[in-house]
Amino acid sequence: MAKKIKKAPGWLGLSEDRTSFVYIPERAEIVRQIFELSIAGLGGYTIAKLLNSKKVPAFGTSKRWDQSTIHNMLSSRATIGEYQRKQTIEGKEHPVGYPEPGYYPPVIQESLFQAAQEARQRNLAIGRGRKGRLITNLFAGLTTCAYCNSPVKFHSNGNSKSLICEAVLERDECFKFGWSYGDFERSFFEFLDENRALPDFSEQLVNLRIGIEERAHGDIYNARAEIMRIVKASVLRLTIASAGMPPPSSRLGGPIRRNHPKRSFTATFNDDSSRTGYLALPQKRSNQKFDSVELSKSLRLSPRQGTLTALLAEGETLSFAAEKLGLTLATARWHLREIFKKTDTHSQVELIRLAEATCSPK
């Protein structure tokens, strides 16, 4: 008769006769997400907070996640199927004998486990506090170079943070162009928002904008963590053409140039569809205000449409403008289409140029 198992790791179940482990796909998925969040630089405290706020049930008897459960999971080789017998001596656990691979059904791949160990070492070295830094690169592991297929890396040089092809950084090959990180992130956010590619994304983008406006560190952090999770779960690949497509005709020497006017990226989604995005509209010009009454009069728009146009001209995204006007994003889009019809414009950029020409910002 098979031996009875006393206890399974939280993410696994036990068969009714308690002789074998049962793989639970939903729990395995949660484990995988926890590893990915850790790799992205989130600490155990923040991961626990995030899971609790999303009402993800914890595996144990407690309904809530806590920091130590997350830490134990992230360092447990049982996630990759390994069993290590342990003995408690003077209150401390010590490994006994060799680890047994393939003892448990693995819930994550070994490469993911390794990446998480490396990320945790790095984070410890940086000495991050329990609140955590703002996540610096939301696209870690996703970006590749459109010209040579090498990974595109996050490169920090003093205050300048850029995405640069690994071949440029390490071997002085490929095309010597980079894309400023903030500029890329903003372009990509607006691209996703515009394309309605990811359902939950626009909502989180609004949370992020509100967090920034109110200078609420915790809200910014949570929104960024959520955005990263959504992007990681939905985008397979992000190909970056730092100098546009097709690539420049010659390979220039000298320093790495940043922010080529033709820069673009192509996102490939889980369903294998892909779309290309370009440089976003100029960043929010908070000091410029447009008179919505004047705009609605001269462009023959309803007062609400005038306000929407003014907000867009001031550099707000459509989702943020919708939030400010108390509209759903779908309604705001409907208004925007109406505005395009009434003003004979065909894009937000065109509309903004028209608004600028119509009334000078105050």
Residues that bind Zn ion (CB under 5 A): 145, 147-148, 150, 165, 167, 174
Q: Between 47 and 152, name the residue whose CB sits nearer to Zn ion.
A: 152
Instruction: Indicate the angle between helix axes 303-313 and 292-299, nearest 10 degrees.
Output: 110
Q: Between 143 and 309, name the residue whose CB sits nearer to Zn ion.
A: 143
Q: Are strands 177-180 and 257-258 parallel, antiparallel or unpaired?
A: parallel
Distance CA(195)–CA(274), nearest Å, equals 11
Residue 249 Cβ, how far from Zn ion at the closest point, in Å?
16
Residue 238 Cβ, how far from Zn ion at the closest point, in Å?
14
Q: Are strands 152-157 and 177-180 parallel, antiparallel or unpaired?
A: unpaired
Q: Which residues pair with 177 in a beta bridge?
A: 257
Q: Between 152 and 354, name the residue whose CB sits nearer to Zn ion.
A: 152
Instruction: Identify whether the C-beta of residue 278 lies closer than 8 Å to the C-beta of residue 264.
Output: yes
Instruction: Identify whether the C-beta of residue 332 lies closer than 8 Å to the C-beta of residue 322.
Output: yes
Residue 131 Cβ, how far from Zn ion at the closest point, in Å?
36
Sign of torsion over alpha carbons 30, 36, 39, 43? negative
Residue 165 Cβ, how far from Zn ion at the closest point, in Å?
3
> Exposed, middle or buried, 66 (CB in 10 Å: 0-12/13-18/19+)?
middle
Residue 86 Cβ, how far from Zn ion at the closest point, in Å?
47
Q: Between 149 and 156, name the residue whose CB sits nearer to Zn ion.
A: 149
C-alpha pair distances (Å), 351 with each of 289, 296, 301, 321: 16, 13, 12, 15
Amino acid at 169: L
Residue 164 Cβ, how far from Zn ion at the closest point, in Å?
9
Q: Between 13 and 151, name the residue whose CB sits nearer to Zn ion.
A: 151
Q: Between 178 and 306, name the residue whose CB sits nearer to Zn ion.
A: 178
